[in-house]
Amino acid sequence: MWKRIPEQIRHLVVPIVALVIIYFVARHFLVPPTFGLWGHYRAASVVQNAELPLKYAGSEACADCHSEIASTKKGGYHRGVACEICHGAAYTHTQDQEKQKPQIPRTRANCLLCHEYQPSRPTGFPQVVSESHNPLKLCTACHQPHDPRPPHPPKGCDACHATIQRTIAVSRHGDLVCTTCHEVPNNHRLSPRGNMAKKPQTREACGKCHAQDASASKEIPRVDMASHGGKYLCWECHYPHMPGAR
């Protein structure tokens, strides 16, 4: 019978049988005995995982003490985002509030994990290009993280002066609010033409930060206001919204 089988087939049958035997022997030693007992997983892992120390408390535990924030978040766009995604594991905090304080994100990186522009994200999902979208501002300066709607009315001057705001955003003055240099009447937002914002008229406006004796941060460039530029106003040589440009 065996001799009647073509020689080519016999050469294939031997290694195939050997592989099948090796497979079952290896499976016997490598597959855990509890695998498949309750499903397609190792049943003993359930007990081992249950014995691991707890790290996450869950949003319901956070709401017990932070009910006001939980209420705001429930009606906002972040209602489906667990608290610990942004604030870190908080189980030890629920057991001892002084032992561990939940972390509060202080950089833009946390928000950009979800909101940096990517073509693969769903249509309509809020996205920004971080290099041009207020790059020197924290996201929380304009957006309430627990209910991240666009600010209304806008906190800045973006609504009417978008081009200037985009220029300032990538300049050395990106962290300054407009009212640092401009006097803005209270009703300017409601009636801008009837309540015009005032522009600086003297060199002293720039000297508040750039004079040698100014109380501003030491990292800010300083000049001798008495000799630098002579009779010219600062903005005759430097564009105030992009002071590093020539």
In a shared domain, residues 137 and 79: yes
User: How does the average pLDDT of the chain come out, rounded?
Assistant: 86
In a shared domain, residues 27 and 82: no
Q: In this model, does residue 157 exceed pLDDT 90?
A: no
Share above pLDDT 90 across residues of the chain, in percent, rounded to a whole number: 30
Residue ending a domain, among 113, 141, 169, is 141
Residue 153: inside a domain: no
CB 156 within 8 A of CB 168: no
Work out how many domains the chain is built from and give that number: 3
User: Where does residue 166 rank: exposed (0-12), middle (13-18), buried (19+ CB within 10 A)?
Assistant: middle
Q: In this model, does residue 1 exceed pLDDT 80?
A: no
CB 164 within 8 A of CB 157: yes
Q: Which of 195, 199, 140 is nearest to 164 (CA)?
A: 199
CB 163 within 8 A of CB 157: no
In a shared domain, residues 24 and 87: no
Separation of alpha carbons 205 and 199, rounded Å? 10
Residue that has been written with the tokens 């994990």 in this structure: 113
Report the pLDDT value the prediction gives residue 245, as an integer from 0 to 100. 63
In a shared domain, residues 41 and 102: no
Residue 41: inside a domain: yes
Q: Helix, strand or coil for residue 150?
A: coil
Higher pLDDT, 174 or 29: 29
Report the pLDDT value the prediction gives residue 124, as an integer from 0 to 100. 79
Residue 169: inside a domain: no
Residue 148: inside a domain: no
Separation of alpha carbons 130 and 241, rounded Å? 19
Residue 83 CA: distances (Å) to CA of 78, 88, 148, 211: 9, 8, 14, 46
- Determine which of 49-58, 73-82, 189-198 has the lowest per-residue pLDDT on average: 189-198
Residue 237: inside a domain: yes
In a shared domain, residues 188 and 240: yes
CA dihedral 231, 233, 236, 240 (to 10 degrees): 160
Report the pLDDT value the prediction gives residue 159, as an integer from 0 to 100. 64
In a shared domain, residues 44 and 82: no
Residue 166: inside a domain: no
CB 137 within 8 A of CB 175: yes
DSSP category for residue 27: H
- What residues make up the domain containing 92? 59-141
- Characterize 60-88 residue by residue with b for buried, 16 or more Cβ atoms within 10 angstroms of its Cβ, and e for exposed: ebbbeebeeebebbeebebeebebbebbb
Separation of alpha carbons 209 and 205, rounded Å? 8
Separation of alpha carbons 12 and 47, rounded Å? 45
Residue 154: inside a domain: no
DSSP category for residue 149: P
Of the pLDDT bands very low, low, confident and very high (cuts 50, 70, 90), residue 156 is low
Residue 63: inside a domain: yes
